[in-house]
Amino acid sequence: MKITAAAFVVSAILIAYGAFLLFQTPSPRIVTVARYPTTWRRAGGGGWLPGSLKLRGSGLRPTLRAAIDATPALGFAFEDPNSAEVLVGTVPAGAHDLVLYDGAHEVARLRNAVVIGPSSPARVIGVGALIHLDQSAADLVTPGALAPEGPDDAILELGPPQEEPPGVWRRPARVALQCDVDPNAVACTIAGSPLASLPLATVKLVDGSGRLLTFRPTDVFPDTPPVFVTAATRFAGPAEVLNQISIDDRDVLLDERAAAVVAIGNRQTAGGAAYMDVRLRLGADERPEGLQYRGRPLKAGARFRLATERYALEGTLLRVQPDTQGSR
């Protein structure tokens, strides 16, 4: 009888232990961390959004919190027991451990899982206008770096204030913009909008006083010097418009790339239509598909648009060749 009782006790202990092993919460384990670029991204309101890391493992649960070495992460977004996203704040360059905590207790660590390279934000040059300004803001805004705690933006050049409609002001502007490099895309983005797509997205900027500025770009250029070329162009149109073309006429573009008239041929007529050959000097950008001016190809037969303060004309490129004068 005693043996039977002892056997029963042993069996009960084994069953209880087996149930414990079966139903206990498994310990969290980090297997991999996707090494996405942990750079800050611009938010729609001109501020920052954190970068993120994709965590793969086992035993994950929503009550966990994460840290990169001793720096607490901004968030731990539980997806399922094998997947989570970690929102990363400002972390210095180098290799760092990813650590998981349950309350105050460390429960998992993957050494050197977060690798952050030296900061080198991508930048582009946006040309357009600061819009929706009151008169005071239009007068006070000046070239220079913007909010030091925000994106690496700077106003490079400003045109004169313009009132349109009454009571609302704008200023033509050329702005250096920090953009977000998407590892899955060929171009960078601002506020989630690809800079290669039209229409270009309106950008929110924050100046040193914390004032929010609205920048509407019409053109986006690389943050690299242009290649200067001369372009022989044939413009067709009414004689009254062609007669307005003058030496030094300049495309309405607040940038050194702006096309300028350097030589004018005689106005001619063929088949009842008037045309004029004009030589332009302009700054082009090198693209994989060839030189471009304001997003249009620069090659013989391509269409070319010249819009000055007085007129706008469409023409055809006859030939493009390197400029021998160097940059302006």
- At 134-158, the pLDDT tens digits run 999 999 999 999 877 677 789 999 9
Over residues 268-281, mean pLDDT: 91
Give the tokens for residue 79: 């997806």
pLDDT band at 87, cuts 50/70/90? confident
Question: What pLDDT, on the 0 to 100 scale, is given for residue 121?
Answer: 63
Average the pLDDT over each of 155-169, 186-200, 248-262 and give the range with the smallest value: 186-200
The C-alpha atoms of residue 51 and residue 30 are separated, in whole angstroms, by: 19
Question: What pLDDT, on the 0 to 100 scale, is given for residue 94?
Answer: 83
How large a percentage of the chain has pLDDT more than 90? 56
* Between residues 146 and 188, the one the model is more confident about: 146
Task: Specify which residues 270 forms β-bridges with.
Answer: 273
The C-alpha atoms of residue 253 and residue 307 are separated, in whole angstroms, by: 9
Task: Specify which residues 96 forms β-bridges with.
Answer: 114
* Between residues 136 and 10, the one the model is more confident about: 136
The C-alpha atoms of residue 300 and residue 279 are separated, in whole angstroms, by: 13
Name the DSSP letter for residue 238: -
pLDDT band at 10, cuts 50/70/90? low
Question: What pLDDT, on the 0 to 100 scale, is given for residue 133?
Answer: 94
All domains in the chain, ordered by first residue: 29-116 (2.60.40.10), 122-222 (no CATH), 227-322 (no CATH)
Q: What is the pLDDT of residues 196-210, one digit of tens each?
A: 667 788 888 888 787
Task: Report yes or no: 281 and 245 within 8 Å, Cβ to Cβ.
Answer: no
**Is this model's pTM higher than 0.85 or not?**
no
Q: What is the pLDDT of residues 63-81, one digit of tens each?
A: 999 999 998 998 899 999 9
How large a percentage of the chain has pLDDT more than 70? 79
Q: What is the pLDDT of residues 296-328, one digit of tens each?
A: 999 999 999 999 999 999 999 999 999 976 544
User: Residue 32, SS3?
Assistant: strand
Which range has highest mean pLDDT (5-19, 32-46, 253-267)? 253-267
Opening angle at CA 110, ends 104 and 113, nearest 5: 120
Question: What pLDDT, on the 0 to 100 scale, is given for residue 125?
Answer: 92
Question: What pLDDT, on the 0 to 100 scale, is given for residue 20?
Answer: 45
Task: Report yes or no: 126 and 220 within 8 Å, Cβ to Cβ.
Answer: yes
Question: What pLDDT, on the 0 to 100 scale, is given for residue 252?
Answer: 96
The C-alpha atoms of residue 300 and residue 232 are separated, in whole angstroms, by: 9
The C-alpha atoms of residue 133 and residue 218 are separated, in whole angstroms, by: 18
The residue type of 235 is F
